[in-house]
Every structure is written in structure tokens, then in C-alpha cells.
A and B are shown apart, each in its own frame.
Chain A
Amino acid sequence: MLTALDKAMLEQVADLKGIPAGAYNIRKDGRGIERRSAPGIEIRPKKDQPGIDVIVEPGIEGTVHIPVIITATGLSDKVYNTIEIGSSADILLIAGCGIHNPGHAEARHDGIHEIAVRRGATLRYQEKHYGEGEGEGRRILNPETILLVEEDAYAELELIQIRGVDDTIRNTKARVEAGGRLAMFERLLTDGGQKARSDVVVELIGSESTARIVSRSVAQGSSKQIFQPRLIAQGRGRGHIECDSIIMDQAVVRSVPEIWAESAEAELVHEATIGRIAGEQLIKLMTLGLSEEEAEERIISGFLK
């Protein structure tokens, strides 16, 4: 039975209003509480460790929701999910984790996703992280995503951390085979004394494989962020890394994009910028009648959209 708080958290992290149509698994406070498979999409709990297997048969189209919510203080939850997208399938997978920490002890979720996108399949993966709670207990989320994009497959990762996560270390590893394409969009906001670190390693192992890594972040208060995306091309691969950060107040941002070619036919580009909100942007929106605070909010929300 989902409480009102559970429903509010699910809406925040997975845009869910009630029980979703299609296949889903909802995990709350360290255990699966509701689960449903759908034709061609099987969700089953792992036997040897916490977590689930999501098996999508070849050619299936559909949406799968696998959100996690934590509403108890002092809880540390580690989960291993294996996701298999069959060849030529087309799937929207909505993960995401919300922590409502009501107490003073730490609440933590480490989610490890191993995903294989088989030949010619398409996966759009959305993961939103969110934290809230009236207590002083820290909210910690450490996601690890290990992705294989097979020949001619396409994977799009949208990784978003909205407000309220005190500490995060994100680890994303991807291997892209010949003709495979990967697009990764990361959006991150930190405030107060929060810390965020994102390490990404993408290997373009096949010819004509491509990757685009776009990271946008806003660091407020005295928060600290580190980005280390690394893009490796072993053959004729093309890739682009773009890291943009808005820095405010007393925040600290480190951005260290790395490109690494092992073939003369590789084409790799990286760019990284860190800067405050441009004065001319604030002034323009103020000449349209927004206050300085409204203009700032509008620029940040647009930047992270």
C-alpha cells in the first residue's frame, strides 16, 4: 500500500501519478513492494542478492518503471539490477530514487544497474534523484551504471539530480560497439554543503560508433562538484564531451574532461566551461519585468532542463 508520502516521492522521481501502466517494480525502504510484468517484459527478483532482472524480449516496445524510494532514517540500501533490452526492442526505462529522511541518521541508496542494449535496439533511460526530509540526517545516493550498447543500437541516458541530495558519487561506464550510438545528458544541482562527483568512462570499441556526453550543472552555496568524463576511441569512433557549469556563491567546481584516441581515424572533441550567470542575461530578463531573483531562477531552471 502506497502512502501519500510515497506517492509524492514517486511523482518527483518518476513522474508517476499512482500505479503506472505497463511493467513496473517499486522498491521501498530496502524491499520490493509492488511488481508487475507485461507481455514481452519480465521483471523478476534476483535469488542471490537484492535487486531485480528486467528482461525485454526482442522487438518489444514499451515503458518500464523501476523507481526506488527511501522514507526511513538510518537505512542503507544496496541493490543490483540487471536489465536486458532484446534486439530491435524500443524501451523507455524510468528509474530514479527519492529519499525522504525524517530523522537524524544517514539514509543511503547504492543502485547498481547493469544494462545490455542488444543489436539494433533503442533504450531511453531516465534517472532522477531527489532528496528531502525534515531531519538533519544526510541523504546519500551512489548510482553505478554499466552499459553495453551493441551493434547499431542506440542508448540515451538522462541522469538528473534535483535538489536535496547531500552526497553523491556517480559512476557510469559504457562500451559502444560498431554503429552503436550513445547520448548521455547529465543535469546536476548542488547547494549548501552538498558534494557531487561524476565519473564517466565511455569506450567506443567498434567502428562508426558515436558518443555524446553533455553535462550541465549548477553549484550553489558552498557545495563542491567534480566531473571526470573520459571518452576513449579504439577505432573509427566519433565523440563529443560538453561540460557546462554555473558557479555561484562560495561553490567549487572541477571539470576534467578527457579524450583518448587509439586510432588515427578517431574524431574526439571536448569542451568545458565554468562561469557565473552572465550579467547580460540577468539584465535582459529584468528589462522584461522579472526581478533579479526571478531572472536567476529562470536561467538556472532553463539551463538544467
Chain B
Amino acid sequence: MLELKDLELKFFTEDKEIIVLKKINLVFEKGIIYALTGPNGSGKSSLARMIMGIHRPTTGQIIYKGEEITPLGITERARRGIGYAFQHPARFKGLRVTDILEIAMEHPDNHECPYLREMGLCPDDYLDRPLDDSLSGGEIKRIEVATLLAQDPDLRILDEPEAGIDLWSFEQLTAVIARSHRPDCTTIIISHQERILNMVDEIILLEEGTVAMHGARDRVWPLIRESTRCTCSRDCPERGNFYADCPR
């Protein structure tokens, strides 16, 4: 489905260059759910944004469905079947929930309600809501995932889909991602949440801009489990909240 060859990403400031990703070589197969994990600043989102065309690689190639898409922009990649649910979804003054779902759907005459229902949102309450600051962080996040479901791309990227979503919908979120994953599509989830990492087929660990580990969940997970757990709760007199978003 997707192959990344010798990808490098550098940002240049006035007096120095910052290397964000170096020598990334990865193959993403059809039908597999991948987790992209690693500490903050390891390059997870940068890699995902490069696949979407938001960042252009400094060197290297991106091959999608056998075709090189490295020079293509965001729109062309979206039209070829790549979709992205953002960690911090954009808010719009003047667009309603129904508008963004209609833009996302290939055939806008389809009914947009099921996608909201999947995300635990009542269409009667939400379709006409403006997509602006009046929505809570959890609501906009669920709408972002519903938009990706409506778009139904062949390669989907979900950037920390669980961040900001409450405990009740966490279970639902993982179930929806699993249920909507078609055998002919590829799903990449950026996360460091144990329950997300538990549901995927393969885990890719990024550290300091390189692939530190990549393999089947059953093999990789035991090796990285300790490093992904939040140790704060051990010392916390309140025992902390196990599901609190880990800053790492």
C-alpha cells in the first residue's frame, strides 16, 4: 500500500538545520493496523504529515499503490485515497458539522448520520452545530474521527485519536476504528496509549527521528511496555489516573 524509502526531513532556520526524521524506510501493507509510537518530539506527527503531503521530505521517496507520490500535494494525495484525522482539529466559523461531513463524503447524497452515531453523537443534536469554539475538545475530536469515517480513505492516519476523549467513549473509539478498518485499507494510529497499542497488528517505535523498533505487536509490545507506561502514578499519593494523557 505505502512504502517510504530513505526519507529525511530537515527544517532550516536562519543559522542551523534541524533534522526531524532520518533514513526512514518502512512498508505499510494492506489490511494491517499500525501504531506509530514514541516519545514526544520523536517525529511521529512529522512522519504522518509527510505521508499526507503537509510536509515535503528533504530527500527520499514515497510510493503509494505502486506510484511515486513524493511531489504531489495534499489535495492530490487525498483524491488518491489518503485521509488524516488531526490531533488538534481545525475549528471553522461558519461551517457546520453537516458541511464538513458532506465535503468528506465521496457521494454527498449519502446519509451522514451513521458516522456521527458511530462516534456516540446524536445527529439531531450535532448536524447543524457550528464547527467552532462552541464545541468541547471531546466533541470536536469525535467529529474529526466521524469525518474520517465519512471520507473512508484507503490509507487512514489517526493522530492521537484518543486525546481529549472521555473514558466512556475510549472503548467505543477503539471498537469503531477496528470495525471500520477494511481488509483492503491500511490504518496508521499515532498513540502512546496502552489500549490503542493493544488493538493494533504492528507497532513502529520512533526515537529521535529514526525507526528504533518495528514488528508485530506481540513481539514489540513486551519490549516497550515499561517505557510507555506513566510512572507518575507509582509515586502519586492519589494513585493518579491510569488513563491520564501521558505527556511522553
Contact = CB atoms under 8 A, between A and B. Distances in A.
Nearest to A273: B93
Given A287-B52, A288-B151, A302-B95, A281 B78 contact: no
B95 A283 contact: no
A280 B90 contact: yes
Interface residues of A, number: 22
Interface string A286-305: 11111110000011011111
5 contacts: A286-B74, A288-B151, A289-B79, A290-B103, A299-B94
B93 A244 contact: yes
B75 A289 contact: yes
Contacts, number: 59
A287 B94 contact: no
B94 A302 contact: yes
Contacts of A302: 92-95, 99
B39 interface: no
A281 B92 contact: yes
Interface of B: 52, 54, 73-75, 78-79, 82-84, 86, 88-90, 92-95, 99-100, 103-104, 147, 151
A200 B147 CA distance: 40
A303 B93 contact: yes
Given A287-B82, A289-B151, 15 more contacts: A278-B90, A281-B90, A283-B90, A284-B86, A285-B103, A287-B74, A287-B83, A287-B84, A288-B78, A289-B78, A289-B103, A299-B92, A299-B94, A299-B95, A302-B94
B103 A298 contact: yes
Contacts of B79: 289
A60 B151 CA distance: 49
Nearest to A302: B94
Contacts of A298: 95, 103
Interface in A111-133: none
Contacts of A299: 92, 94-95
- For the complex of A and B, list the 3 residue pairs with the smallest distance between their C-beta atoms, beginning with the closest: A302-B94, A303-B94, A286-B74
B93 A290 contact: no
Contacts of B52: 287
B90 A304 contact: no
B115 to A, nearest CB: 13
B82 to A, nearest CB: 8
